[in-house]
Amino acid sequence: MASTAEKPVSGSSGVEPRDSQPPPRSNPWRRPWALEGFTWLYILWSIVPIAIAVLFSFNKGASQATWQGFSTKWYVGSQVTSVLHNPSLHHAVIQTLILGGLTTLICVPIGVGFAIGIDRWRTRTASGLNFVLIFSFVIPELLLAVALFLLVTQALTFIHLGTPAEVAGLVVWNLSWPAIIVRARLISIGRSYEEAAADLGASRLGAIRRVLLPMLMPAIFASAVLVFASTVDDFVIVEQLSSTANTQPMSVLIYSNVHGGLSGPALNALATIMLLISLIVAVIGFVAYRWLTRGERTEGGTEALTGIAGI
């Protein structure tokens, strides 16, 4: 009896003497100190370098290593080397935004159509295309970039290097995002809503327009955010397919100037802007996704989708 009296009944009191529960290893509710510590180490490891890079974009001096006081000269102040006033720097920002916008606008509708086609058409063609979709995930980006370079310089010469080729390449590379995310949503939605729409008198196109598209909106939006963010981050494809300095987005400019040329905190400022764009898009995506799926919290599938989207 004495031994049972010593054991605290779970939930009976807030102050449970955890350590006194022998043996501690077998207690499944013990706090996972080791795992937690390791997780925090990992987070620090990945955030600290970024934080330092961001910090030095506000350096007063031209050093990327010694702190010389706070200033915003690398963003707006300097007439020569600030992002605002240096043509090649602010051109890179604009080029990144153009590529992101165009790629999203072209890629998402194609991807949505692709997903609907693969999932709602039950044919051999559809299953073949599904394979192609997965294939684009495993193919190395560099391989695709070089292949696209050869394609547009040798065969499809009407697609000029520069913005057209960059957009074409980014669309191909990012097509899997909307296709896979929208397809996941299509599967979780099921066919019953389209059947209900058809039953109430809608044609197949009508059912897609009036029922399926509104229900796919969260997924479409999530994939648009991902495509945009991934385009902002992209380097390999745009590096291969850009032509003049005018068509270099931020990633390419940073890479080509890191060892010489326009080095210094201005590059940090550019990188910070790039980071900020990605962050803003991610936040917009998260908030809008929550808003679009409000009232769906209990339904399975959507939470998983948030997980896939990483937002």
| Residues from 2 through 31 that contact other proteins (CB under 8 A) | none
Shortest reach from residue 222's CB to other proteins, in Å: 16
By CB under 8 A, how many residues form the interface with other proteins? 20
Instruction: Give the chain's radius of gyration (CA, Å).
Output: 26
> 3-state DSSP call for residue 70?
strand
Which residue matches tokens 């192609």?
132
Q: Which amino acid is at 185?
A: R
What b/e sequence results for 222-247 when a residue is b if at least 16 CB atoms lie within 10 Å of its CB, and e otherwise?
A: bbbbbbbbbbbebebbbbbbbeeeeb
Q: Can residue 235 be called a binding residue for other proteins (CB under 8 A)?
A: no
Q: Can residue 196 be called a binding residue for other proteins (CB under 8 A)?
A: yes
**Of the candidates 148, 56, 265, 257, the residue with the CA atom closest to the CA atom of residue 248:** 257
Q: Can residue 193 be called a binding residue for other proteins (CB under 8 A)?
A: yes
Nearer to other proteins, 52 or 196 (CB): 196
Shortest reach from residue 73's CB to other proteins, in Å: 50
Q: Can residue 210 be called a binding residue for other proteins (CB under 8 A)?
A: yes
Q: Residues 40, 199, 276, 304: which binds other proteins (CB under 8 A)?
A: 199
**What is the distance, to the nearest Å, from the Cα of residue 1 to the centroid of all Cα atoms in its chain?**
59
Q: Residues 150, 200, 279, 283: which binds other proteins (CB under 8 A)?
A: 200
Phi, psi of 12 (to 5 degrees): -75, -30
Shortest reach from residue 202's CB to other proteins, in Å: 6
Q: Can residue 126 be called a binding residue for other proteins (CB under 8 A)?
A: no
Quick one: tokens of 203?
Answer: 């044609």
Shortest reach from residue 123's CB to other proteins, in Å: 15
Which residue matches tokens 């606008």?
105
Q: Residues 106, 146, 147, 202: which binds other proteins (CB under 8 A)?
A: 202
CA distance 116 to 113: 5
Site of interaction with other proteins (CB under 8 A)? 192-193, 195-204, 206, 210-211, 214-215, 295-296, 298
